[in-house]
Structure 1
């Protein structure tokens, strides 16, 4: 007999399934079978499955979408193992997690062996970062018995609060399950019926320390919602009703048998609901606009409160629960207000940003709005640049002092024409002017902690025609904040206008930000200068940079990579273009301007190449660098879409193309066939292309024309005028 049957229902998202199977393949286990139930799959995953020749995978495929309960039932019908183990295809295992459960089962032959489930938004490669906070460490057994520890892990403390019982990450003897099946009519809580059905037959329980199962919160709540992220309608009512059904069964079994396992299970469930009462119900009872928190939710929670184990509560907590049970609203409100507001106050005064945000919402946001005030910000206040700069200059030249202008600029010594008010990002002055400004002009996303008032307008000019995947279109998120996709949706809902340079960009921005507001297909204000600049302006830029007048100019502008991080949002960067070779080969004719992404602009040292390579990372306006450059070298940065307006040669130094295309981001266009220049893998190839640049211009002339028509045809030097006409009509 096979020792272990692993049952995996699969519905969607191949990259999640890959994480799941990868994590199983790294467990040191043998004598097992994996039963993979393809549950009406929308993706062809055969190639992925076939790549795991080291795993014993049995595939059962259904054309229709079965649902998780039926998919598990189909897996159970096929399971021939002594033990059965359930894992969801969008979850994965921490190192040695299943191995520890299997070894414990072989040593104890217990009926039920489980580990800890831990909810996480992190991709698998970064899951261990979940443990950086003390409260997130895997739980310890301490003085708990095997059964007590097993029950604590079964109910869970670090998973979805609406998940009281789960079959996941537990070894269960197959003969104890017998003919028990999941309730296929219960979409959200089929685990509860299954667990309460087999519970009377389970006699020995073992909870295993540090055998951690990652319960993934899917990173796209719009397109890839998991079952536990779906809208249940009245979620609390559904949750509480399921809890009461389970409690009724467990109480009846305990009354009949007085078996300790039922009491332990009741206590853990009650603790989970008390935690929900304390952290979720209390604040919503006070402040939610939804009256249900003071209506039917109140009544249900009140009934459940009689299950709370008062022995574990503090004196103050006991008094609050007593007031709750006695329906003493005045006293209950006072208790909840004291603890909720105390916690808020502590949080506000423990961090500067929370204190400033508190002032913003409670004081500045109650002041009148100046209907003539515009606030501009470019790249988080690091530069006076990009489309906000050119829209500002157009408006200042047209309206002068009729309007009030504020610039978010971290270096107040930066010269800005017209003498606008300058504020440093996230200073108190920033919050004050933000609250007063009728219009916010930004070139990215505003901070998610901020919310405009109804009469304020946000104009997001964005900052480029997309090549690499953005927002919800990105696969696995490698950045520090794995919840970032949720913030994309949240901040985009507040935009009033989104600026687009072409139809292609319009469709992508709508999709990747789930944006349904107004999109202005005007072209980018930052490209106006590419059509309007005079020869005198171009020469002044060269003079300001102290560049030699007898050399041609190559602009090297690579993007950053999502995996270029090393700690808590800090980025590292290594220049891959070999400047020493470039200098020897073309130094007599060319100089190189190096402009990295603003995320890594502080990481560059070009001192060994003085007189040949110039660091222009902190030069505010890349559009001015375009104007003075004869050739652009880039990779996956959107700069080449803008540079193409000049119809000058573009080279693509794509040394890590396969990794970037298939792992880190992926592209919206076919970079192999659609870009108007060659894809180069080595510095030697870059040198050869520059030396033979005239031949390349002829080779790519037709493709360049097609590219220009698709991506640049809206641009004519009048984007700023069109935006002004639209937002001030």
Structure 2
């Protein structure tokens, strides 16, 4: 019999689910099974579970036809378990490395009904908060097992399903199930402890409890938090059916109930201000209804005062106490900020005047027909915003589109495109008044999110390297990044455009916020799908390329952690390997070309240079259409170019160093879009031998396209416009 059965429900946790599953399957102890339950999730969670089940016999995937909620989904998983012990782990949490061997050893030595394990809370910024384990058990119990009435302080450990392993036969005999609704752990975790004859405690952190910025019910405001009362009713009904066996525990359970109610009420992200008086009244009623005849051990200090105010039904006093405490905290924060603010206020000048102008414009109504577009920190007209702009001109002509560009990039704009210069008075006006703001990077920090304004983050590539919050794990590539500021920018997003399910998962974990993901394909790739042979010939002609030239585009990415680094590369040697018709286009990353000026593209009469520097070319899509082969390393160019179904070569001479220092989401050597090499001589051999477009490379490209390019059908920009500008849901 398997020792431990994990039940992992999944609903809107696709960004974290793989990390959860890997943390279980990657343990040195493998006598486990995972029952993954897709609770009819609208994201890719079900596909992730199915993929793991196909690759690992220890994983079993279950898809539900309807969304039943966390508790019933756990019940479905429980019914399919076959292990001696059951561990319910949520799909957005993950196990601590190497913990399972110790857990298994304790289970086998002591055979508890319930084994409580320690956990930590992990915030988005990596900060870790310990649980109450050390306070509840200052002296760890060791391998001793006990009943709850012998150690009632165990009730003060967090009442979740995921910090305890439960003997399955004990649970089945008890007949206990998870109830539907929010706070489902309450009516499960407390009865489990009260019924257990043998409770063990493992004083070791085994689970990382992710403190999500968005999506968790603890950060969702609404009246469903009133469901906590019914969950506690279930606890007391269960106790009433077992009188007098559990009567001695009633005072301690009552104290936990009041503590929990006050915790929910005190969390400003859960109970809206207008609902708090009613919630408080419910607590008062529950206090009177459930108060044990002999009283209960009320806490000391301020917490005890809260209990007394609840008992007396004194909402106004309770509310005033809470407001005074919040005011003290706010005053402390303001004092700490005061001096820097004063110093900044002294820096008057043109920027300050423009900021005041911007603030004044914010007080004016939104322009209901104005959309603002920008790309690559105002470098010009490009990428997904350009594709969306063109689709909006066609489908929503009533919307006036205005581009923001740097002064030195004005000449790069196509004729007829309206623009404002970054930093100008007009720039501040359109940022303040626009109803839609579309960008492939973030707008500056001073830009405020206005009610009614829609911010669209298009991104600018499917990520190979880690991004956003995930960069915290790779500090070499995150020098100077302020992650708190980054998240404040992300909080402005209403929509995040995603090219594929993989990108959606990575963006949601790298940039956690309350935006809506539009997984529609990449608008900038529409042109690659719809381009005609005539258009391709015209592009090649403008670049000075003949019809029979074999054109290779070399487009390496930027190494921000290694300024000045260039991969070993000899253009002339590569051209020699291509043969007499070989032509090489070289395009460096835009971070390496901040100060370049647009240069005219070479034309048919500009000579027959074998190597062309196309770093200044404004539309990278032209270069994709012109090229017969792409050579790149970790650039998102490979995902775009794959739409064309032409050969791709991954040339990654610093793969191991890059993977360890910068961090990657995708193992390009294991899942490449074509042929792969880690040396320049190897790159030459790929072309000389014909391996670039041989069957193995073609097969790899087909798998890659199926995974990453399925949505690129030429209509991605239209889908974005219809959703963002017209509100169409499909």
Indicate which of 564, 589, 593 corresponds to 1:596.
589
| Structure 1 position 181, deviation (Å) | 1.9
1:376 aligns with 2:354: no
Partner of 1:407: 404
Partner of 1:436: 433
| Gap runs ≥5 in structure 2 | 40-45, 67-71, 142-147, 346-354, 394-399, 475-482, 508-514, 595-608
**Cα deviation 1:18-70 (Å, max 9, x = unaligned):** 954762662558xxx646668799779899669768xxx69899999984225
2:35 and 2:62 in contact (8 A); partners too: yes
Name the CA distance, whole Å, in 1 between partners of 2:370 and 2:22. Answer: 55
Partner of 1:547: none
Name the CA distance, whole Å, in 2 between partners of 1:141 and 1:379. Answer: 51
| Structure 1 position 114, deviation (Å) | 1.1
Name the CA distance, whole Å, in 1 between partners of 2:76 and 2:624. Answer: 59
Partner of 2:99: 97
Partner of 2:299: 311
The alpha-carbon distance between structure 1 residues 264 and 156, as it changes in their structure 2 partners (threshold 3 A), is same
1:95-494 residue pairs with structure 2 within 5 A? Answer: 95-104=97-106, 112-118=114-120, 132-135=126-129, 140=134, 144-146=138-140, 156-157=157-158, 164-166=159-161, 168-172=162-166, 179-183=173-177, 186=180, 192-193=186-187, 195-202=189-196, 205-214=199-208, 234-247=223-236, 259=248, 266-280=254-268, 284-286=271-273, 291-295=274-278, 297-303=279-285, 311-314=299-302, 326=312, 330-340=316-326, 343=329, 365-369=362-366, 375-381=372-378, 385-386=382-383, 407=404, 420-423=420-423, 434-443=431-440, 453=450, 456=453, 463=460, 493=494
1:388 and 1:443 in contact (8 A); partners too: yes
Name the CA distance, whole Å, in 2 between partners of 1:309 and 1:618. Answer: 74
Aligned residues: 607
| Structure 1 position 654, deviation (Å) | 2.7
> TM-score, normalization: structure 2?
0.56
| Structure 1 position 242, deviation (Å) | 0.5
Name the CA distance, whole Å, in 1 between partners of 2:160 and 2:384. Answer: 53
Name the CA distance, whole Å, in 2 between partners of 1:516 and 1:92. Answer: 26
1:652 aligns with 2:655: no
| Structure 1 position 115, deviation (Å) | 0.8
The residue matched to 2:5 in structure 1 has which SS?
Answer: strand
Name the CA distance, whole Å, in 2 between partners of 1:243 and 1:350. Answer: 42
1:141 and 1:209 in contact (8 A); partners too: no
Name the CA distance, whole Å, in 2 between partners of 1:74 and 1:59. Answer: 9
The alpha-carbon distance between structure 1 residues 303 and 364, as it changes in their structure 2 partners (threshold 3 A), is farther
Indicate which of 3, 6, 10 corresponds to 2:4.
6
The residue matched to 2:134 in structure 1 has which SS?
Answer: coil
Name the CA distance, whole Å, in 2 between partners of 1:184 and 1:347. Answer: 42
2:251 and 2:297 in contact (8 A); partners too: no
The alpha-carbon distance between structure 1 residues 480 and 434, as it changes in their structure 2 partners (threshold 3 A), is farther
Name the CA distance, whole Å, in 2 between partners of 1:665 and 1:204. Answer: 45
Name the CA distance, whole Å, in 2 between partners of 1:237 and 1:173. Answer: 31
The alpha-carbon distance between structure 1 residues 494 and 38, as it changes in their structure 2 partners (threshold 3 A), is closer
The alpha-carbon distance between structure 1 residues 143 and 40, as it changes in their structure 2 partners (threshold 3 A), is closer
Name the CA distance, whole Å, in 1 between partners of 2:391 and 2:32. Answer: 64
The alpha-carbon distance between structure 1 residues 665 and 627, as it changes in their structure 2 partners (threshold 3 A), is closer
| Structure 1 position 179, deviation (Å) | 1.8
Superposition RMSD in Å? 7.3
Name the CA distance, whole Å, in 2 between partners of 1:303 and 1:712. Answer: 59
| Structure 1 position 132, deviation (Å) | 3.8
Partner of 2:43: none
**Cα deviation 1:118-164 (Å, max 9, x = unaligned):** 566xxxxxxxx87942535795358635579987776655xxxxxx3
Name the CA distance, whole Å, in 2 between partners of 1:100 and 1:233. Answer: 41
| Structure 1 position 579, deviation (Å) | 0.7
| Structure 1 position 208, deviation (Å) | 2.5
The alpha-carbon distance between structure 1 residues 652 and 234, as it changes in their structure 2 partners (threshold 3 A), is same
Name the CA distance, whole Å, in 1 between partners of 2:63 and 2:383. Answer: 52
The alpha-carbon distance between structure 1 residues 581 and 139, as it changes in their structure 2 partners (threshold 3 A), is farther
The alpha-carbon distance between structure 1 residues 218 and 574, as it changes in their structure 2 partners (threshold 3 A), is farther
Name the CA distance, whole Å, in 2 between partners of 1:63 and 1:643. Answer: 37
The residue matched to 2:174 in structure 1 has which SS?
Answer: coil
